[in-house]
Amino acid sequence: MKLNQKQIKYLRTQGHSLSPIVTVADRGLVNTVIEAIDEALEIHELVKVKVRQEREVRAKTCEDICKKTGALEVQKIGMVLLIYKPSKKSKIDLPGPKLKAK
């Protein structure tokens, strides 16, 4: 599952006005945080996650979030990660070919 440039641009535009829903802090990526991100993705499809860790650790944490939730990274700016995962009841109508929820 991959996003094309047109879809990424569209999602970045949609995510601009969003606030981070989940914050990953000192304890790192524990199961409760993964569950919270999964739940938020199922409800909203497009979610901002704030990763409050050191720069070196932050990149690995962002990768792990995408792997463990099955989400796609749309954008990463500083401590904020924007991710997308289509839900069973699709709310966001992406331009171009449609992605299927798993």
pLDDT in tens, 55-93: 889 999 999 999 999 999 999 999 999 999 998 887 888
DSSP string, 18-46: ----EEE-TT-S-HHHHHHHHHHHHHHSE
Whether 91 is covered by a domain: the verdict is no
**pTM tops 0.85:** yes
Q: What is the CA radius of gyration of the chain?
A: 13
Residue 100 counted as domain residue? no
pLDDT at residue 101 tops 90: no
Assigned domain for 68 exists? yes
DSSP secondary structure of 63-80: HHHHHHHT-EEEEEETTE
Domain harbouring 70, CATH code: 3.30.110.60
Number of domains in the chain: 1
Q: Is residue 69 part of a domain?
A: yes
| From 12-16, 21-25, 31-35, 96-100, the region with the lowest mean pLDDT | 96-100
Q: Name 47's Cβ contacts closer than 8 Å, sequence gap at least 6.
A: 18, 21, 22, 37, 40, 41, 71, 82, 83, 84
Domain membership of residue 39 as a residue range: 5-84
Instruction: Kindly state whether residue 62 falls inside one of the protein's structural domains.
Output: yes
